[in-house]
Structure 1
Amino acid sequence: MIIKQKLAGNIDFDYKWYDIYNCDDHDIRLLKDDFDLTSEIISYITDLHERPHFDHDYITNSDLLVYDVPVWPTADADHFTTLPIKFLMVGHTLFTVHSPDTTYMIEEFRQKPDEHIHSEKELIFAILFAVTKYFQRALSQLNSQRLVLDNHLSERIHNKDLQELSQVEKSLVYLSSSIRTNLMMLESLKNKKSGLHMNASEEEMCDDIIIEVQQSLQMIKIYSEVTEEISKTSNNILNNNLNNTMQFLTVWSLLLTIPTIVTGFFGMNVDLPIFHNPFDWVIITVGSVIVMAILLWYLRRHNML
């Protein structure tokens, strides 16, 4: 679907802005026939696995910028993921290409008027600044979820809590990878050899985005370290509980072996050296208990219990 966009507030554009998502064969034909885009460029902007980067094509005089954006958990993926949003500048025409999962970001941005946007590059940086805020929102949500899990795990560890902690770790991995590559791409834009010529206002906007991304990167480092420590602590607690359980079972299996051996002897159908009176079972039971007590004392003395 190709939609001609306009910011709220009746701002007059000196350029055209087209938003594209759910690109089908009909849209591809329109991009070729009406906008004279090459098949190579179309393949780039429709690739869902394109990593963040900037590319200037001197032949077509076009600029392609790819930036990762966060995607909230869904029924298909119960953790945060990321998807690319592409910005294609051809002359004074800007194309934004993304998946339906990230359409809400463009719609929310479009409803916020900004009279300081006067060029397609300023529009790109304004969208990037707004999108970067979603990373911080996602990290704040993950941190709140982590705090809840931390409280649950400190009381008693359940499989459900461990699964949710695993989802938090997966989300942090996805977001961390995207934030790092986004930062590398933004820093490459400042290079004069990149081919993207920016004025003072556009450079200032780019610097603001880099600061926001760096803050997000610091946040995710802290959250990742804390989450890793929680995971290690949970594993240590589980291992310690398992050791205690195995120690308990081992000690009782040793103690219960004694009456089993004793009763095994006296259960044989042969004569045994005993008093042959009605109180034999009392003597056997007391003797077994005494031997068990001695074994228990020995295990405790040698720190085996």
Structure 2
Amino acid sequence: MVQEIQMIKYYELRDGVLTLVKNPQDVSGLTWCDVHLDKSRASPNDELKLVSTMFKINIHDLKDTTDLTERPRYNYDMLLENQFMLLRGIMSDQLDLSAEVENPTIPIGIFYTIDEKIVTVHSIDSPEFTNIIETLDKRKITKPIFLFLEFIQIIFNRLDKASYNISLKINEIQKHIGSSRDARKRGIPFKLNSYMIFFNAAMMGNYNAFQAFMDKNKSTFEADAALYEKVDDLKIDIKQIYQFTSIYRDQVNNLVEQANNIINNNLNNIFKVVGSISLLVSIPTLIASFYGMNVGLPGGIEDGKFISFYIIIGISFTVSFVTWLFFRKLDWL
């Protein structure tokens, strides 16, 4: 009997219907094994070792699916003759820039064994994965390879929805970026820019991984028209997601530049106000400083030629003029 673990679920595909199997006797009748990683556990090695033994999958590939920094890729194990695709899925298709998340995507592993068994490893709590049977009941699955592609379709659909939400957020920012006086809102373009860097890079990696998968199985897909059409649709989907997110990233870069310009303009306006106030204050200060000198002043009660006063004024203007020339030479003025 196959060991039953709560975070691992087993399914069989029979007559186009996917059915949950509890306490399976062996893996021969199984079609799909789903491993839902528990985020609270740092290293679910026992579960991964069990799956590795049951389905003859490289344990290192399984562990790669738990590495949050792992890049998307496709790998064919020549020894075990298994196919492994690691894609970056979205943690939430709802764009939340308030969350302190460095990378909005996480790895999802999909394995296709030589005996047509499918193993998925993920930590996403999405309705699509939770209600997978209801989702797939709407489609007639005839072969395990179609089921394999359906999982990829689920991942791409969530990424497409996230991409759409990004476009809505960009439109919202464009409408209010010039009029908002809230400093926190002005920082949103910078957060979105960081978000888009990771998201766009993940989409490029997903596209390259899926392209490698297509190249490896080209002859198989070309032999089945329905299979080829499904794969081609998926390729178009991920390519469009990547292209759109590239456009969105450029738009976000423009928003960041616009935000920087607004900040610089605001600083310039502040400096102008401060400079004007300083000039207004300096005029009475200058007059008061003249009449505070311990020398004879024109208009004062002292008699004489006031030569000391004129010497001081001359020296002051000379020093100011030399300083002005020096600043001009350095392009400071």
Report the TM-score range of the alignment, normalised by the length of the smaller protein.
0.7 to 0.9
Q: Which stretch of structure 1 is more off in the superposition, 240-249 or 261-270?
A: 261-270
Match of 1:139 among 144, 151, 163: 163
Query: Which is worse superposed, 216-225 or 121-130?
Result: 216-225
Stretches of structure 1 lacking an aligned partner (at least 5 in a row): 277-305
Name the residue aligned to 1:106.
129
Aligned sequence identity (%): 21
State how far apart, in whole Å, the 2-side matches of 1:188 and 1:145 are. Answer: 33
Which whole-Å CA distance do the structure 2 matches of 1:118 and 1:267 have between them? 100
Match for residue 74 of structure 2? 54
Amino acid in structure 1 at the alignment position of 2:111? L
Aligned: 1:229 with 2:254: yes
CA distance in 1, matches of 2:57, 2:247: 44
Moved over 6 A (4+): 7-10
- Decide whether the 8 Å contact of 1:87 with 1:95 is kept in 2: yes
Structure 2 Cα separation of the partners of residues 8 and 158 of structure 1? 58
Give the distance between the partners of 1:7 and 1:74, measured in 2 at CA: 40
Residue 56 of structure 1 contacts residue 196 of structure 1 at CA under 8 Å; is this kept in 2? no
Match of 1:84 in 2: 107
**2-side partners of 1:213 and 1:95: how far apart?**
22
Residues 81 and 174 in structure 1, CA contact (< 8 A), matched pair in contact too: yes
Q: What's the counterpart of residue 18 of structure 1?
A: 33
Q: CA deviation at 1:8?
A: 12
Q: Which residue of 2 aligns with 1:283?
A: none
Q: By how many angstroms is 1:96 displaced?
A: 0.4
How many Å separate the matches in 2 of 1:10 and 1:211?
A: 26
Q: Of residues 53, 59, 83 in structure 2, which corresponds to 1:63?
A: 83
Query: What residue number does 2:299 align with?
Result: 274
Q: CA RMSD in A?
A: 3.0
Q: Which region of structure 1 is more displaced relative to structure 2, 232-241 or 264-273? A: 264-273
How far off is 1:82 after superposition?
A: 0.8
Q: Residues 259 and 212 of structure 1: is their aligned pair in 2 closer, same or farther, counting only changes over 3 Å?
A: same
Q: Structure 1's 254 and 74: CA in aligned 2 closer, same or farther, altered over 3 A?
A: closer
Aligned equivalent of 1:31: 51
* 8 Å CA contact 1:69, 1:135 repeated in 2: yes
Q: Secondary structure at the match of 1:5?
A: strand
Name the aligned partner's letter for residue 19 of structure 1.
Answer: D
Question: Could you say which structure has the higher helix fraction?
Answer: 1
Q: 1:47 to 1:270 in 2, by over 3 A?
A: closer
- Which whole-Å CA distance do the structure 2 matches of 1:28 and 1:153 have between them? 48
Specify whether residues 70 and 256 from structure 1 end up closer, same or farther in structure 2 by C-alpha distance, changes over 3 A only: same
User: Which one of 289, 308, 311 corresponds to residue 264 of structure 1?
Assistant: 289
Q: Taking structure 1 as the reference length, what is the TM-score of the superposition? A: 0.77
Q: Aligned-pair distance for 1:230?
A: 1.9
TM-score (norm 2): 0.71
> 1:81 and 1:7 mapped to 2: Cα distance?
33
Write the deviation string for residues 129-161 of structure 1: whole angstroms up to 9, x where unpaired: 222121121122222222222232221343211
* Cα pair 2:68 2:106 within 8 Å, conserved: yes
* Counterpart pick for 1:153 among 155, 159, 177: 177
Alpha-carbon offset, residue 204 of structure 1 = 1.5
Q: 1:242 to 1:28 in 2, by over 3 A?
A: closer
Which sits farther off after the overlay, 23-32 or 82-91?
Answer: 23-32
Contact 1:21–1:97 (8 Å) recurs in 2: yes
Give the number of aligned pairs: 274
User: By how many angstroms is 1:70 displaced?
Assistant: 1.1
For residues 35-62 of structure 1, the C-alpha deviation after alignment (integer angstroms, 9 at most, x for no partner) is 4444344434444433222212222121
The answer as to whether partners of 1:266 and 1:272 remain within 8 angstroms in 2 is: yes
Tell me the distance in 2 between the aligned counterparts of 1:33 and 1:147.
Answer: 50
Structure 2 runs not aligned, ≥5 long: 1-6, 20-28, 39-43, 302-333
Aligned partners of 2:16 and 2:142 also within 8 Å: no
The higher-RCO structure (CA 8 Å, 6+ apart) is: 1
Separation in 2 of the partners of 1:118 and 1:138? Answer: 30
- Identify the residue that residue 97 of structure 1 maps to in structure 2: 121
Q: Is the 8 A contact 1:69 1:85 kept in 2?
A: yes
Q: What does residue 23 of structure 2 align with?
A: none
- Secondary structure at the aligned position of 1:55 is classed as strand
